[in-house]
Amino acid sequence: MTAATGVTAALAVGPTPAAAQAVPDWTATLGGVPGECIVRGNTVFVADASGSVTAFDTADGAVRGTTATGKDLVSVGASDAYVAAGAKDGSLYSIDRESMTANWHRSLSAHVNGVTVAGTVAYAVTEDGECYAIDLDSGETKWRETLSGENPATPVVGEYVYARSGGEASSGAVYAFDPDSGATEWQTSIASGENAYAIDADLALSPDGRHLAANYLRGEEVAGVTLFDAADGTEQWSARSDGNGAGAVAVGADRVVYEGDQRVFGHDRATGERKWQSGQGVAGGLTYDAGRLFYVADFGDQEAVRGTRSDTGIVTWETEKEYLDIWGGDASATHYYSLDEDGIKAYRRKKTGETTTETTESTTTETTRTGGGTDDGTESATTARATTERTETPSSTTASSATTEAALRDATTVAGDGRGLFVAGDGVLRGNVSTWMLTVSGFALSVLGLVYSMRKEN
């Protein structure tokens, strides 16, 4: 086990250019407060307190389908064929992804903290520390295991099913279960010190499936992250930050990123060395996708959604500062999706030359289905309602195909158009340069050249 260089002064990340602006592209008002959203392919699924699971097109927010359950939903997962949603009262719903119709629902032991869908199986954890594997076609329990603490993290699936117990009495236990049988392949605790636990437990698996990261707290003054070998549970390294609060964690190709002490920290995945930390407070919404990192930056009485490079922490785009109340999100190739008390909002990078005048186009989808069971087993009908507002921003008349919006997946380069006075990208020329200015500059340079030649001859 390697102790990472975790407690250091703020690290410089080099000159940071002005970030590109990000703007809301579409918003959707739901029937209740959203509990969770998840992106799968070209669809973002949202579960809300009214009992609805709504599928939105990731690009324009068009409603692809809605399922009404009549339950207060708090978690959602999806695969190519199925969607699973968990409720506060312990209900779990299986939904056909293509038609968005409910297949069945059943009761688990308690509030469903999180659910992950892999193929035709839902791996769900409940508030009382139970971990289930349930066949989404038949509703049968494949296996069930009891964790050491309450409020576990949402499972992640790779070679094994990885689960993490939460709560102050859990000692940070991490488990690897066989996906088919539920046999415990390995179990470990965070070995970086006694009394390590996580109130808001989180787990993240690396893209190649080789490493597993878990957050932790120790007392009221230390927050950190530990990286494990996903195959056998061997601890690779552990890093910490002084301060309380442990939030989300993510693992990329070469970085491990976690939220602690109201900051975001980026560590080298191989060594655990801290490479950068955010200079701004973090209010939540930490999301990682393909080298891009998103979070809500806290500026006191205002906040902004930020997109950054996970390798350097450099901010590549951010929204205007305003009051936000975001508690979750996810990302696609072109958008970042945030949840607030009204619904879901999709942000994208602003196009070069795009005007700021906005008009909105509103569409409402209303679906009524039966299937929300009551305590006495009877069926209840619930109306699900989702309203999507699409923000239309007229493009500049001078914009060409070369200045159209780049996908956020390409936003790992620093914002800028590369122009320069002496060499490309030297930063001397900024903004729009008029023909008159170019003429004057050219004339001035010509005069200087003429004066120089005359002085040289004399």
pLDDT tens profile 61-118: 999 999 999 999 999 999 999 999 999 999 999 999 999 999 999 999 999 999 999 9
Are 269 and 283 in contact by the 8 Å Cβ rule? The answer is no
pLDDT for position 215? 85
The CA distance from 137 to 105, in Å, is 11
pLDDT band for 385, please (50, 70, 90 cuts).
low
At residue 8, does pLDDT exceed 70? no
Structure tokens at 407: 């996908």
Most confident of the ranges 25-29, 218-222, 323-327: 25-29
Are 185 and 179 in contact by the 8 Å Cβ rule? The answer is no
Structure tokens at 392: 């239309």
- Section 124-129 average pLDDT: 94
pLDDT tens for 434-444 read: 555 556 667 77
Structure tokens at 213: 């990261």
pLDDT for position 171? 58
Phi, psi of 89 (to 5 degrees): -85, 5
pLDDT for position 113? 93
- Section 217-236 average pLDDT: 84
The CA distance from 164 to 167, in Å, is 10
Query: Looking at the whole model, is its pTM more than 0.85?
Result: no
At residue 359, does pLDDT exceed 70? no
pLDDT for position 14? 38
The CA distance from 246 to 238, in Å, is 14
Closest C-alpha to 295, from 259, 260, 267:
259
Residues 6+ apart with CB under 8 A from 296: 282, 283, 284, 285, 303, 304, 305, 306, 324, 326, 338
Q: Compare 359 and 314 and report the one with higher pLDDT.
A: 314
pLDDT tens for 278-323 read: 877 777 778 888 888 898 888 888 888 889 999 999 999 898 888 8
pLDDT band for 191, please (50, 70, 90 cuts).
very low
Type of residue found at 332: S
At residue 413, does pLDDT exceed 60? no
Phi-psi label, residue 302: left if phi above 0, alpha if psi -120 to 50, beta otherwise: beta
What one-character DSSP code corresponds to residue 379?
E
pLDDT band for 378, please (50, 70, 90 cuts).
very low
Q: How far is CA 454 from CA 65, 302, 449, 451, in A?
A: 77, 60, 9, 5
